[in-house]
């Protein structure tokens, strides 16, 4: 028997099945890579002005990643583009909007999926990736709390006992 650690997808599957009254699966759920959405970011270096800091964020299905990477490298040059983060997410476009809004609130310039840090910004690739990972952790926590809230509501609803003065005739 496979003695592997349960991951987030298996836990989510378990709680979703409880919430929607589905029979639990005994074996781990296989991950369908073609339906999985990815969030990613490229670091783009402008050879004319290397001090300016640019990042391009994207979201796409797993099967579209190679096509999007090639398109970006063709547009900006293969030597000027570096992929710094690629994470599986539950809502690619939604998470891209969360990241974009977060950095716009820090007074970054944003145009679609293109982010530009201000000139005096202390952000580098490591700081950018750390911020994105923190936002992803918050997003996972929000989804987990939503599921657990529904599970608690379901438990309370099922555990309610009728008041003692009510007489039932069955």
User: Cα 140 to chain center, whole Å?
Assistant: 7
| 130 pLDDT more than 90 | yes
Three-state secondary structure call for residue 41: strand
* Spatial separation of the C-alpha atoms in residues 118 and 132, rounded to whole Å: 18
| 131 pLDDT more than 90 | yes
Residue 88 in any domain: the answer is yes
Residue 132 in any domain: the answer is yes
Total domains in the fold of the chain: 1
**Strands, DSSP E only, in the chain?**
37-44, 54-61, 81-89, 109-111, 114-116
Model pLDDT, residue 28: 66
Decide: 55 and 109 in contact? Cβ < 8 Å. Answer: no
Domain range for 44: 8-25+36-158
Three-state secondary structure call for residue 131: helix
Residue 70 in any domain: the answer is yes
Render pLDDT for 135-164 as a digit per residue (tens, 0 to 9). Answer: 999 998 988 898 888 888 877 777 666 555
Q: What is the mean pLDDT of the chain?
A: 82
Residue 152 in any domain: the answer is yes
């Amino acid at each position: 028997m496979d003695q592997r650690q349960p991951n987030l997808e298996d836990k989510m599957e378990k709680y979703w099945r409880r919430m929607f009254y589905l029979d639990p699966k005994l074996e781990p759920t296989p991950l369908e890579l073609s339906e999985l959405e990815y969030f990613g970011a490229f670091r783009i270096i402008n050879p004319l002005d290397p001090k300016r800091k640019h990042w391009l964020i994207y979201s796409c299905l797993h099967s579209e990643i190679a096509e999007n990477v090639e398109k970006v490298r063709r547009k900006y040059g293969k030597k000027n583009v570096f992929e710094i983060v690629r994470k599986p997410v539950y809502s690619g476009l939604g998470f891209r909007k969360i990241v974009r809004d977060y950095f716009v609130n820090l007074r970054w310039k944003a145009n679609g999926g293109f982010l530009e840090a201000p000139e005096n910004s202390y952000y580098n690739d490591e700081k950018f990736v750390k911020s994105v990972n923190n936002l992803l952790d918050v997003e996972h926590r929000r989804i987990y709390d939503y599921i657990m809230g529904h599970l608690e509501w379901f438990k309370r609803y099922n555990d309610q006992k009728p008041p003692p003065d009510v007489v039932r005739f069955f």
